[in-house]
Amino acid sequence: MPDSTVPPTPPVPLSALLAREDLDLRRIAGPDDPGRVVHWVHTSEMADPYPYLLGGELLLTAGVHIPEAAGSGTYFDDYVSRIVAAGGAALGFGVAPVHDTVPRALVAACEKYGLPLLEVPPQTTFSGVARAVWQLMARARLSELRRVTEAQQSLASAASRPDPVPSVLRQLAQRLGGRAVLYGPEGAQIAGAGREPGAEVGSALAELAGVVRPADGEAAPPCQSQTPSPSNRPHPTSATDTVSGTHLAAYALGAGHGFVLGVAAPGRAPGDHTIVSVAAVLLSLLTGEQQSGTGAARSSALVRLLLGAAPEDVAPLLGDGRRWVVVHARPDGEGVPDAVAAAALGAALGSALVDPAGDVVRVLVPADRAPDPLPGWTLGVSAAAAPEDWPAADTQAARALARARATRAPLLRHGPRPALADLVPPGEAAAHARTLLAPVTAHPALPETLRTWLSLHGSWDRTAVALSVHRNTVRQRIARCAALLETDLDDPDVRMELWFALRHI
């Protein structure tokens, strides 16, 4: 079947046309295919309508062209085979005024070539059938526009959440009824949402993402192509494929940053391309470089800090918020986050102020964007702090992360509250702490181990997890603390006094 020119209007399922009681159409031959659609209606009494068909038509005829001896030869076979070759969707035969019934040879030919044959009763005009198709198309177009509009609104709302990247992917996967994946410049999956596809489909989607990913230093052009192009042609920014009945699509994000959006859906409904394009634009903004001078402002803030400016003087360059929270994040599992994963985490938290340091990523987030738990990450969040208190907030976030990992919580926040310790002047408390803990402070690992061990109620295993050391190492350090402090760490009074002192060093 030749490629047909697809009209801009949505197709109409043939089953929807048959369901119209005012038409009283009846399928009398051909397959009962729920996926069969009609793109338009064409009326012809030509013996060979092939030259006048574009494909996808419901061809209507009253049989004026049928010769008297047609039933004894190959006329109907030739007629139906030409309609099928032209891509016709179905054939409608009008009963009366020329024929009282549908010729049996025509029924047999349609059954043979798999062309749905509809009987059009005398009271139904061909123009009435055409009008019904246009009405169904208008309803389908309205439904498509409503679906696209609702999807655009939900995607925009998702992009404004504290975790915009995962939220956009979740909303996109829900709208498509499939899977949405964000790939980084190196091809690794950064985030995903929706039903996990099979191994074959997942591998094919990753390969398709590689087709549209620009090479290092290559900017993606503002054009689109459906297939890979030779090296002397513009690089494609989108590509599609079908694997195991699943429709795949990949879209390059931004201008050469290397991020790719991949989607896998059971089929491709009208409006899907528009919905995915909206999501691609939003993700381009979330993963790309900040615009409108924000990047320059961050650079200026960094330079001023390096040249000796106070944090409170630099903070206005970083945004409108005057109070911030520090977030310490660590990926689940044993992997160490790279720069791409750290950048994606910052985008998910709504901040570009990201510091990947070893196995922990630190993010400075405006206090009004309090983070929610993120799949694949464990987070420790400080209390809201003014710029001059950022170092203390950094310590709070580190301790919150350690407790979160030890208790296997996805997120823990530092929550200070008034306590008896607040009754002691800070200066006196610090002096007491220095005196009491002097024997262990000469060994940097001991105070932190003791603090973590006490905070976790003396659990060896949870302390080992929080400090990323072996449980025997924890036992040795705690025994060393007990020996240096010359005290019994099983005594609850001793533990309380030590906990009070550890809070002031």
Task: Give the CATH number of the domain where residue 495 resides.
Answer: 1.10.10.2840
**248 three-class SS:** strand
Residues 380/398, Cβ–Cβ less than 8 Å: yes
Would you put residue 502 in left (φ > 0), alpha (ψ -120 to 50) or beta? alpha
Residues 390 and 426 in one domain: no
Q: Is residue 5 part of a domain?
A: no
Nearest to 31 by CA among 121, 113, 120: 113
Would you put residue 309 in left (φ > 0), alpha (ψ -120 to 50) or beta? beta
Tokens (6 digits) for 457: 């109620």
Cα 221 to Cα 237: distance, rounded to the nearest angstrom:
7
Residues 155/279, Cβ–Cβ less than 8 Å: yes
Of 359, 379, 413, the one marking the end of a domain is 413
Q: What CATH number is associated with residue 101?
A: 3.40.1390.20
Count: domains in the chain = 5
Cα 429 to Cα 418: distance, rounded to the nearest angstrom:
15
Residues 163/349, Cβ–Cβ less than 8 Å: yes
Q: Is residue 153 part of a domain?
A: no
379 backbone dihedrals φ, ψ, rounded to 5°: -120, 140
Helix (H) or strand (E) holding 349, with range, is helix 339-349
Q: Is residue 171 part of a domain?
A: yes
- Residue 322 has a pLDDT of 64
Residues 165 and 241 in one domain: yes
| Amino acid residing at 117 | L
Angle separating helix axes 339-349 and 164-176, nearest 10 degrees: 80
Residues 207 and 117 in one domain: no
Q: Is residue 145 part of a domain?
A: no
Cα atoms found within 13 Å of the Cα of residue 113, Cβ hemisphere only: 25
The DSSP bridge partners found for residue 243 are 246
Q: Is residue 141 part of a domain?
A: no
The DSSP bridge partners found for residue 192 are 181
- Residue 342 has a pLDDT of 78
Nearest to 458 by CA among 504, 505, 490, 497: 490
Tokens (6 digits) for 239: 């590509």
The DSSP bridge partners found for residue 411 are 379
Of 269, 287, 305, the one marking the end of a domain is 287
Residues 256 and 176 in one domain: yes
Residues 24 and 53 in one domain: yes
Q: Is residue 143 part of a domain?
A: no
Residues 396 and 356 in one domain: yes
- Residue 151 has a pLDDT of 86
Cα 237 to Cα 253: distance, rounded to the nearest angstrom:
8
Cis peptide before 13 (omega within 30 of 0): no
- Residue 219 has a pLDDT of 44
Percent of the chain whose pLDDT exceeds 70: 84
Q: What CATH number is associated with residue 164?
A: 3.30.450.30
- Residue 381 has a pLDDT of 92
Residues 281 and 295 in one domain: no
Of 413, 445, 477, the one marking the end of a domain is 413
Residues 224 and 307 in one domain: no
Q: Is residue 18 part of a domain?
A: yes
**222 three-class SS:** coil
Residues 170 and 281 in one domain: yes
Domain extent at residue 310? 289-317
Residues 446 and 488 in one domain: yes
- The three-point CA angle 65-66-70 to 5° equals 150
**Contact residues for 100 (Cβ-Cβ < 8 A; gap 6+):** none
- The three-point CA angle 293-298-299 to 5° equals 95
Mind giving me the DSSP string for 390-442?
HHHHHHHHHHHHHHHHHHT-SEEE------GGGGS-HHHHHHHHHHHHHHHHT
- Residue 257 has a pLDDT of 61
Nearest to 198 by CA among 214, 184, 183, 178: 178
Residues 155/278, Cβ–Cβ less than 8 Å: yes
Q: Is residue 185 part of a domain?
A: yes
Residues 80 and 102 in one domain: yes
410-438 exposure pattern, b = at least 16 Cβ within 10 A, e = fewer:
ebbbbeeeeeeeeeeeeeebeeebeebbe
Residues 177 and 111 in one domain: no
Per-residue pLDDT of the chain (505 residues; tens, 9 = 90+): 334 455 567 889 999 999 999 999 999 999 999 889 999 999 999 999 999 999 999 999 999 999 988 877 899 999 999 999 999 999 999 998 899 999 999 999 999 999 999 999 999 999 999 999 999 988 888 888 888 888 888 888 888 776 788 888 999 998 888 999 888 777 778 788 888 888 888 889 888 888 887 665 444 443 343 444 444 445 577 888 888 888 988 888 865 567 888 999 887 777 888 888 888 888 887 776 443 345 556 666 667 777 777 777 777 766 655 688 899 998 887 767 776 677 778 877 877 788 887 788 888 888 877 788 887 889 999 988 888 788 888 888 988 888 888 778 889 888 765 455 555 666 777 888 888 899 998 888 999 999 999 988 889 999 998 888 999 999 999 999 999 999 899 888 888 889 888 877 7
